[in-house]
Amino acid sequence: MKANNLKTEHLRNPVGIDIEKPILSWNCQDGIMQTAYEIEAVSNGRTLWNRKENTDAMCAIFDADLSDRQRVEWRVRLWDENGMAGEWSEKAFFELGILDKSGFHAKWINPELECNPAVHKPASYLRTTFELGEYQTARLYITCHGLYEAYLNGHRVGDFVLAPGSYTYDRRLAYQTYDVTELVKKGSNEIQVILGDGWYRSCAGVDGICNLYGKDVALLCQLEADGYPVCISDETWEASQEGPIRENDMQQGEVYDARREKLTGWHEVGAEEFGYDNLLCANNVPVVERERFAGKIIRTPNGETVVDYGQNLAGYVEFTLQAREGDTIVMTHGETLDENGNFTMENFQERSRHREGGINQRVVYICREGFNHYKARFTIWGFRYAKIETDIDLTDASFTAIAVYSDMEDVGKFECSDANINQLVKNCIWSMKSNFCDVPTDCPTRERAAWTGDMGVFIDAGLYMHDCYPIVRKWLAECRVSQYQSGEVAIIAPRVNEMSRMQQMLSGSVGWGDASIIVPYMLYKRYGDRRILEENYDMMKRWYGFLEGRAQKKGNILEAEHPLANYVIDMGVDFGEWCEPDVKADLRDIMGHPQYKVATAYFAHSGQMLAEIAEILGRASDAEYYREVSEKAAQAFYLTATDHGKICSERQAEYVRAIAFGLLDEEEKKEAADDLNRMIIERDYHLNTGFLSTPMLCGVLAQYGYLDTAYRLLLQDTMPGWVYAVKKGATTIWERWDGMSEEGKIKDSLNHYSYGAVCGWLFGGVCGIRIENGEICICPQPYPMLQYANASYHSPLGEVKSGWRYEGDILKYEFTIPANTIARVMLPDGRKFTLKAGVHCFD
């Protein structure tokens, strides 16, 4: 009887956090019901904290006083329902970073003697030496403007790639803390750091704007032994731009000259006064290299040499080959082949907008004599294919694609009898991996932007697949610092383009800005950590205040004197449902055309959530206020968007939204669901919902008894339908339903997780696993179009499994409930059970 899965702030043994009252959590094993826990925490050889509580809660707030750099080891033991104490768990630990900014003694140093902001530049190499006496522990605190790789005595420090990550650098910049005890030695040591351009000054966004946060690259690092600085970045360092990385850019790629691997041209560095005010600890998982895919060389119909890695992903490449000095190989990376089977990148190009005429995703490698080995450093692309241009004999060459994403734990698995649905789930997982590189982005090619709306529609599904809590929490902090004074939440955070009046107008769009409420709300419901609500409450209130201001601007939907006139949003700019099949989605089309039905529905829905959040946080007057506003907004929606409770529209989204947001009474919902079902059948079981409502579509149908239609939609293999892309060979989720036409013509991004949000229904509907407010509920929705379905979810409460299978006329169920929990189970035939930990089978 021992606790496992010990975490601090949702992280395993984090080094360098700045949360002074962290939450410690664990799971129970062996089917016990926990009645008490005891935590013992030790620091510097003495017991710092000992806490025993009679509770079944599998978490505790560590409230002992902590100081800079302090390392705490902790363990927990549990008491079961019989009052028996179990064994102590294995030890976990956490370590604080530099909390007091006066603890920084390093200087910001600039390695470039001159900088031409109009051209791509070589990487900078920096180095120094230092002496070290007797020591017990050593830590490296480091960050930069740009990206860094650090080496101590020739050994790579850590496995974080693309460090320090993606930030709103003028407001927030994380430094990393590395335990380098084993990398330094008594006596003379050398530290070397390579700096690249990174998100800081690479081409960014669809416009390809460079130098968005600054024109410099700069390094800040401080190496300490036993808490005392022994090496800091200052003017004693030297730098060179004469190394092999001749150009580096996150979008455009790298130029690498292997003949220059022996560094020359060392010169002095300059000190800069950038200060420490924006520094913080990441409190996040690192970005790391994960899966590797061996490339297969193919010849396309037009005679080009192309490498196929078999999987669309975000990452970079590694290759080895034999060559003569001066030989060159050029590799250009794209997601797909065109309708003729030839390499293309045109699906994600907006060449007229991009400052450099398009996104290159290219490596230019100049060989040295003999054996050559290359792996990208300061770039990341979305790709499955690479076009090769070279005269080198590639007979013995080896090409590998490396997936690069945040080090999220895999927590969900789904399998059913239909291979296409299994592939759909894999595609969704891969699109999530491809777009969770320190922040959740929309695509890894064209925009590479952390859109609010995408996360708002995907968060439920994403939490079933990966433990993405730390990444999303970090991204919400970027949203907070990017919020406008007037309350709009920037549609992209961190920013990847220059701010403009148009950007601010679009940032007022409902569905997108509402993610500032939806996402923290969903995280709280799943994890039960109210701090995510506290951290973002001010942002939520300011956003909702902006919506109230929009509602008070008078359009022409209701007369100004009408008592509900201030609760209809019929002025301003909204994306609306967005990307509906058969509806042109263009920014020019939404300007001057208020989407009052969508906007007023979200005004009511977000108010409902905000009232509940205020109640949870003990803000009773706020809760009462937002509840009243929400109720009046719902009345305004009912008055202006329905005919006495009846939806009259050819767009399925109108029905889905009204039902899912609770804007109709129960009888009206049933009628709307019936109309929705009929419309889908009339379209031969095709949807016409768009970006905002598609994630809710199957769930709404199933809730009101239309399982046949929900399953037919899920299995639809013609456009628009999820299986259509699978049948076309997709290995990720497409941005649009028609990402590839029947004839094979390609358009837009092929790696966009948003429409993969249906996978949330596979876990939470088909297999019925739902975790909310610390409770497990299993309500499976089986249907004979699948012979079986199984899901497992490593939830915050432990691993939950739910599966069902048809054996002739008999439907069999199997559920696994984790230790220290009780699950409520409701079967389609109306039977209800309360299940304790263990494996349970039913017919």
User: pLDDT tens digits for 747-797?
Assistant: 999 999 999 999 999 999 999 999 999 999 999 999 999 999 999 999 999
Q: How far is CA 147 from CA 156, 175, 245, 420, in A?
A: 14, 11, 13, 40
Structure-token pair, residue 26: 């664990």
| Backbone angles phi and psi of 531, in degrees to 5 | -65, -30
Question: What secondary structure letter does DSSP report for 204?
Answer: B
pLDDT at 795: 97
* DSSP three-state, residue 712: helix
Please compute the mean of the pLDDT values over residues 552-561 and round it to a whole number.
88
Please compute the mean of the pLDDT values over residues 228-234 and round it to a whole number.
98
Structure-token pair, residue 689: 């919902």
Residues 494-546 pLDDT 10s: 999 988 888 899 999 999 999 999 999 999 999 999 999 999 999 999 999 99
Does residue 494 have a cis bond before it (omega within 30 degrees)?
Answer: yes
Query: pLDDT over 90 for what percent of the chain?
Result: 96
* CA–CA separation, 698 and 84 (whole Å): 46
* DSSP three-state, residue 348: helix
Sheet containing strand 15-17, strands side by side: 15-17, 92-96, 71-79, 36-43, 46-53
pLDDT at 593 over 90: no
Output b/e per residue, 147-181; b: 16+ Cβ within 10 A: bbbbebeeeebbebbbbbbbbbbeebbbbbbbbbe
Q: How far is CA 352 from CA 5, 358, 360, 495, in A?
A: 51, 8, 14, 21
* DSSP three-state, residue 385: strand
* CA–CA separation, 111 and 774 (whole Å): 52
Please compute the mean of the pLDDT values over residues 285-303 and round it to a whole number.
98
* CA–CA separation, 504 and 489 (whole Å): 8
pLDDT at 592: 65
pLDDT at 591 over 90: no
**H or E element in which residue 814 lies:** strand 810-817
Q: How many other C-beta atoms are found inside a 10 Å radius of the C-beta of residue 224?
A: 22
Q: Dump strand ranges (E) for 460-548.
A: 466-467
Output b/e per residue, 384-416; b: 16+ Cβ within 10 A: bbbbbebebebeebebbbbbbbbbbeebbbbbb
Please compute the mean of the pLDDT values over residues 132-136 and round it to a whole number.
96
Contact, 149 vs 123, CB < 8 A?
Answer: no
What pairing do the DSSP bridges indicate for beta strands 362-366 and 253-257?
parallel
Does residue 444 have a cis bond before it (omega within 30 degrees)?
Answer: no
Sheet containing strand 59-61, strands side by side: 4-8, 23-27, 59-61
Handedness of CA 370, 375, 378, 380 (dihedral sign): positive
Contact, 472 vs 436, CB < 8 A?
Answer: no
Contact, 392 vs 327, CB < 8 A?
Answer: yes
Output b/e per residue, 254-278; b: 16+ Cβ within 10 A: bbbbbebeeeeeeeebeeeebebeb
Q: Residue 11: beta bridge partners?
A: 8
Structure-token pair, residue 680: 């889908």
Residues 466-487 pLDDT 10s: 999 999 999 999 999 999 999 9
Q: What is the pTM of this model?
A: 0.97
Please compute the mean of the pLDDT values over residues 255-266 and round it to a whole number.
98
Gyration radius of the chain over CA positions: 28
The whole-chain average pLDDT of the chain stands at 96
**H or E element in which residue 522 lies:** helix 515-527
Residue with tokens 């299993």: 778
**H or E element in which residue 412 lies:** strand 412-416
